[in-house]
Structure 1
Amino acid sequence: MKAIVFDLDETLISHRKQLENFIDFQYNHFYNRLKLIPFEDWKNNFIKLDNNGYVTKEVVYDNLSNIFKLEISVTELYQHFLQNFHFYISPYKRANELLHILKKYNLKLGLLTNGGTLIQNNKINMLKYENFFDEIIISESVGIEKPDPRIFDMILGRLKVEPKDCIYVGDHPFNDIIGAKEVGIKTIWMSHNRKWEHENNNPNWIANDLYGVEEIIMSEFNW
């Protein structure tokens, strides 16, 4: 094995925790104009509309505006999000330690994430992940997103490795695991205690968290 490629959100960092922290900050920042909306109503609707990060925030804010008849413009809320969301980033336990270990063993590391270039780059810069990863691809910047096989081929090409020499780690059954398997990459599914429900496309390994990912990699490499 020569390379390991990671997904970002819900694999190395907790999107849910980051979002909850930011929602609290933004509500308080705009409290004078949001105070008639109970915080729990605002938070619960935001999280539901966000759909684990798979709905753009412009759409989320537009829907919130329609639900609560906001006096604040969608543009103002969205710009505030762009300027501040990355400050509330929440890496999973063991993320940095695992990346340090993998670099120590001279493995090539890739980061492959769906999302907007500005938002994802802000997260990556906050975590200083450019110091860990040999190649980073953000879907918006290349015009292709997971599970399109071309984006997996792209990261393999940039890392200069064959599919058989790479492991991919991700949390999304389709975008991450089935997408990577289509091009022949071995996969570790970050289950977060979920059950795998796609019998014909099983991941090579399943781990509940990054501690489990580390155990699998250590075993695979006999470290």
Structure 2
Amino acid sequence: MDTIIFDVDDTLYDQAQSFHKTVRKLFEEPFTDKEIDFLYKASRKYSEILFDKSENGEISQFEWQTGRIIAACKDFNIPIDTEKAAIFHETYVAEQNNITLFPEVEELLNVLYKEGKQLGILTNGEEKHQKMKIKQLCLSRWFSAEKTFISGTIGHAKPKREVFDYIEEKMNLDSSETVYIGDNFEKDIIGAKQAGWQAIWMNHRKKDLPENAFYKPDKEVHSAKELLNLFVK
């Protein structure tokens, strides 16, 4: 592959760590790590649903940010109101100022950069928030600003075909020589495959492939180490 484009959240780093720390700070209940993992997965599910509604103008950004934890807590009968949900979001964002790359991802990026591969980023989210995470992860070491794409800046979000077409034009890509790496099957794998790109599913949460899925990843890995081993023999 000539061009490798990466998702950011839960692909380059472990997004659950910030969530765990936020829950420990704000809830008095003695949750186990496993219980927080279940809450995290529910929160991510609702985040994807509400993000799409926010993108379509059906709800506000605030309703997306607070609604995902409110809905997740409701699933587990954990009391939370809008005020606490807003504090949860603020704390979660603050915790993301401490995120770090998976060590194997850092090694992979160094290898690809030295090999002269064209590298890019495509991430869904609000521009300021995503730029904060990109800066914290020091991604400018491998990705130029011109090859860093955020849905909130572009005006289209994954899995819409428009966002992939936009990047193809900006980076002058050959779709047959481009691979996208992401953790979200619906947003990342389907989005890339329908654009004619190859796709690697960074499925470290070990989710099941949706039944009767029309599109399938070209490769599936379950850890950052497996991802590294795909490129480094």
TM-score by length of 2: 0.75
Deviations 1:154-202 (A, max 9, x none): 2222222111121111111111111101111011111223443455312
1:201 has 2:192 as partner: no
RMSD over aligned Cα, in angstroms?
3.0
Instruction: Give 1:80 deviation, angstroms.
Output: 4.4
Q: How does 1:52-67 map to 2 (within 5 A)?
A: 53-54=47-48, 55=50, 56-60=64-68
1:163 has 2:175 as partner: yes
Letter in 1 for 2:14: S
Q: How does 1:132-151 map to 2 (within 5 A)?
A: 132-134=142-144, 135-151=147-163
Letter in 2 for 1:184: G
Secondary structure, aligned partner of 2:190: helix
Instruction: Give 1:70 deviation, angstroms.
Output: 5.5
Instruction: Give 1:112 deviation, angstroms.
Output: 0.8
Instruction: Give 1:69 deviation, angstroms.
Output: 6.1
Greater Rg over alpha carbons, structure: 1
Mapped partners of 1:80, 1:210: distance in 2: 27
Choose 39-48 or 141-150, whichever is displaced more. 39-48
Contact 1:147 1:175 in 2 (8 A): yes
Instruction: Give 1:76 deviation, angstroms.
Output: 5.0
Mapped partners of 2:229, 2:80: distance in 1: 50
Choose 135-144 or 45-54, whichever is displaced more. 45-54
Which structure 1 residue ranges, 5 or more long, are not aligned?
A: 28-33
Choose 188-197 or 92-101, whichever is displaced more. 188-197
Deviations 1:70-117 (A, max 9, x none): 6956555544444x1322324323111111111001111111111222
TM-score by length of 1: 0.78
Cα 1:196–1:76 change in 2 (3 A) is closer
In structure 1, the partner of 2:230 is 216
Q: What is the number of residues matched between the two proteins? A: 209
